[in-house]
Structures are given as C-alpha cells and as structure tokens.
Structure 1
Amino acid sequence: MPVTVPLSGLRGAARYRTAATRALAVTAVVGASLTALAAADPHEPGALTGYPVANAAESDAPFTAFTPREAQMPQVVPQQVLDFLNGLHAEQARPKTVRPSDGPLSSGFGMRWGAMHAGIDFAGAFGSPIRAVTDGTVIEAGPASGFGLWVRVLQDDGTIGVYGHMQDILVQVGQQLRAGDVLATVGNRGYSTGPHLHYEVHQGEGQGTPIDPLPWLAARGMNVGIPTD
C-alpha cells in the first residue's frame, strides 16, 4: 500500500537538510582557518591576521598627519575681542593714584598758626587743573564754609577726599571719576592767602576723621614731595 507523506512534512525535512548542510560548511571553514593559524609563524607579519602589511621600508616612513584646509588658513581674531583685550591692558596699565596738582607741595598736615591744618596744600597757578587722586564717586560739590568751594569724593578705598578753594567746579554729585580726571580748577576762594589746592583724606563713618595724606599717598606709591613751609 502506498505511503502518503504530507507536503508540509517534506518541506520541513528539506529545511532541516539545508540547515544541516550550512552548518557542516561553516564547520569546515572554521576548521580550515584554525588549522592555518596553527601552522602559521606568529612572528611573520600578517600571519595571524591574514591581511598584507607594508614592507619594512614603508613601515619606517615618517607619518604625515592630514591638516584640514580650514586649519591651514590664517586665523583672524574678531575686532571685538581685540578691543576687549586692549581695554583690559589699558585698565591694568593706567595709574590708580595721581598727583592732584602740578604745583609744589607748600604746606603739610598738622598744627599751623595755632590751629589744626587738616590737609596738605599745593601752590598752583590760578585756573590750573585739579585732578582726582583716585577712582571714586563725587558725593558733594559746591559752596563750603572756609573752603569757598569744595568737592568731596568717596575714594576707591572707602576714604573721603576733600578738595578745597577751587575756582571752578567741573563735576557734579553722583559722577564717577577715574584717577587723573580733572574735577576743578585751582582758585583762591574761602580762607586763602593765594591760589592753591587744599586736599584732605578722611577715614571712618560720616564726615570721617582727617588723617595725614602724605603717608596715605606714600602707601599708594605716590611721593608728592616735602612741604616748603
């Protein structure tokens, strides 16, 4: 009696035979490769990899790195960066303490004519510039008893600089100053015997206590000379 085999069974057997055939082929290739590796000289270049390698002359050739074209082009620093760096250099280089008047030091700090002289005087030509000694902020500018006109500046270290007897005031309250800025001109207003600048330094809260400006200036690297009186 004939035996009938379902078509699905035939297809399954065929797939089984195909998979088995592929497995045997892979096993043969792997086996051949392992045999070749075992027989190869491990010291022979390329023996274990199967890939050719450069000869000795080529291996000793110097390595040349590839540089992209963009990296070979001249590098340009943006103008904004240059301006910032130049400004930073100028800020670092500028003086932070300036002589307030070009005139000679004519009077020092201390008792004079039976009264306390709480600052130092610079004899200067009438109308000559008076400069801010330090960076700071103007906190008062106008008439003052005994000074005629004065300017008071909150200086960069917290002290108060007082400038007196000027002819003209060139700044206003709240104005930011840098050391060397012209804030007034030399005059002869108030209790004065001739054109000069009177300069005081005060420490402490409120009006502060006047101190000798000469050692204070010297500590900031500024030697204004010896009083002539």
Structure 2
Amino acid sequence: MTRQSGPALLERPAGGPPPVTAVPAPPADRGEDAGPPAGAAARRAVRRPPGRRGPLWLAALVAGAVLAGVPAFTGGTPAPTTVSAADYGLGAADIGLTGALEDAEARRGISEAEAQRRLSELAASRAAREPKVVLPAQGRMTTCFCMRWGQMHYGIDLAGPLGTPIYSAADGVVLRAGPASGYGNAVWIQDADGNVHVYGHMRYYDVEAGDIVHAGDQIAKIGNEGQSTGPHLHYQINRGSMTGRPLDPEEWLAEHGVAI
C-alpha cells in the first residue's frame, strides 16, 4: 500500500526522536501594507484542543444545564395572576350561600319561641362580654328614620361600597335569612330583649336560621339588591317581634353608646 504524501512536519517515525527540520529564513520585508505571514494566519485559524481542561469544560456545561432546568421542577416560574371577585370584597365562597337558601325549610326559618330558648345560652356570658352593641356597617347615613317620598321609612340607610362588611349590631339568634320582598335578601336577628333587627339589600350573607351571633360578628356584605338606588344597608329594629312597632335605629344605637 502506498503512503499518502503530506507535509514532512506531520510525519513522525514509529520510534526515536522526531526528525530535525530546517528553520526557514525570515521573509523579506513586504512593506507596511503586507498582512501577517500565511503560516501565522493558518496557525491562528486552528483551535487548540482543550487538553487537560476538557473535563472541566464538560462539567461546567452539565452544571449549567441542570441549573437551567431547576425552575421547571421547583415552580420557579411565577404563576399568572388573575383578578377575581375577591379583590372587590365579594368572595367566591359567598356565592354558594344564596342558592342554599332557596329550599322551603330555610325560608321558613325558626320561631321566636325557639329563638328565646336559644338566647338563654347567651344570658350568662352577656354581662361580661364587650362590646354589647356595635355599628352594623361603616358608611354614610343617606336616609333617616323619617318620611321619605310621601311615606314613612322605618329604618336607616348606611351607604358604602359593594362588599363592605355588615355586622350584627347586638347578640342574638338568626330568625331568618334569605330572599325578601323589596329587600332582595334580608337577615332577621332577635336580640336578648326580644327586639328583631332587620338587615336588608345585601347580596351575600354568612348566616342561616338558628345561628347564634354576637355583637360585631360579620353576617353579610353590603349589596344593591331589591328596591335600591345604590349599594347600602337598610337597618331596622322592630320592638318585641318581627312585626312589632319599628324603633328609630339611630336613637337605639345612641342609647347603647354607639354614634353614627
């Protein structure tokens, strides 16, 4: 077999020291515009092998690939944010409350006698507990206990943004919670004196008939349901029963140390 010809510099005998080659004479002066020698350009064009650093470069590449893949397994990429009704005070958990109140049993509520029995559970601890009475909602009073549009308005209206919390003004037992003519939805709570506090126009509420509540417990959120011209709470107090003579809520609150 014939050996292919090639530069003598790349030839190496099977044994013994490499042959000595003659050193070429320095090239003649080619002037300032002449480029680098052809041999030098060729030597720069050839990359030197990594030698002993090869394993280190390979390890660095592997480490970089592992680090780049970490967010995919650890959840490092931020999840997209969405705006829901909860950002406006209207929680998704509240949406299911109204549907559960459509059955006949929920609409029937409990009797006032049953409420009085349950109120006896509050009597022992009532004297030591504070507060005894609170403002039912933070807002601006837009209508008083007075004549309006030619007829008596038997309560006060406290206007506030949708979703503003509504609190039980006093300790009591929920007589009824659900749809009500004119109110859209309403909650009736009987206090220990037998007075029934009425909260109306809310869309979302957190109580049902039979629940025991304390002054300051959140029972609903301000809405705009029923015959309403804007988001507000209609708050009314009926003396002694659900159909008793209405009291002025502003005066009743003032008698118990709460100013609007």
TM-score (norm 1): 0.57
The answer on 1:214 being equivalent to 2:256 is no
Among candidates 173, 195, 220, match of residue 159 of structure 1: 195
Distance (whole Å) between structure 2 residues aligned to residue 125 and residue 150 of structure 1: 18
Q: 1:189 to 1:94 in 2, by over 3 A?
A: same
- What secondary structure is seen at the aligned counterpart in 1 of 2:254? helix
Name the residue aligned to 1:104.
140
Q: 1:92 to 1:128 in 2, by over 3 A?
A: same
* More strand by percentage: 1
Distance (whole Å) between structure 2 residues aligned to residue 110 and residue 194 of structure 1: 19
Structure 1 unmatched runs, 5+: 1-87, 225-229
The answer on 1:198 being equivalent to 2:238 is no
Q: CA deviation at 1:128?
A: 1.1
- What secondary structure is seen at the aligned counterpart in 2 of 1:92? coil
Counterpart of 1:133 in structure 2: which amino acid?
A
Q: CA deviation at 1:157?
A: 2.0
Distance (whole Å) between structure 2 residues aligned to residue 185 and residue 219 of structure 1: 25
Q: Output one character per residue of 1:93-120: Cα deviation in whole Å (capped at 9) or x when no partner.
A: 5210011111122210011011110000
What is the number of residues matched between the two proteins?
137
Distance (whole Å) between structure 2 residues aligned to residue 119 and residue 131 of structure 1: 16
Structure 2 unmatched runs, 5+: 1-123
Counterpart of 2:202 in structure 1: which amino acid?
M
Larger Rg: 1
Paired residues for 1:128-207 under 5 Å: 128-207=164-243
Name the residue aligned to 1:92.
128
Q: 1:206 to 1:183 in 2, by over 3 A?
A: closer
Q: 1:169 to 1:92 in 2, by over 3 A?
A: same
- What secondary structure is seen at the aligned counterpart in 2 of 1:166? coil
Q: 1:93 to 1:154 in 2, by over 3 A?
A: closer
Q: 1:89 to 1:183 in 2, by over 3 A?
A: closer
Q: CA deviation at 1:205?
A: 4.2
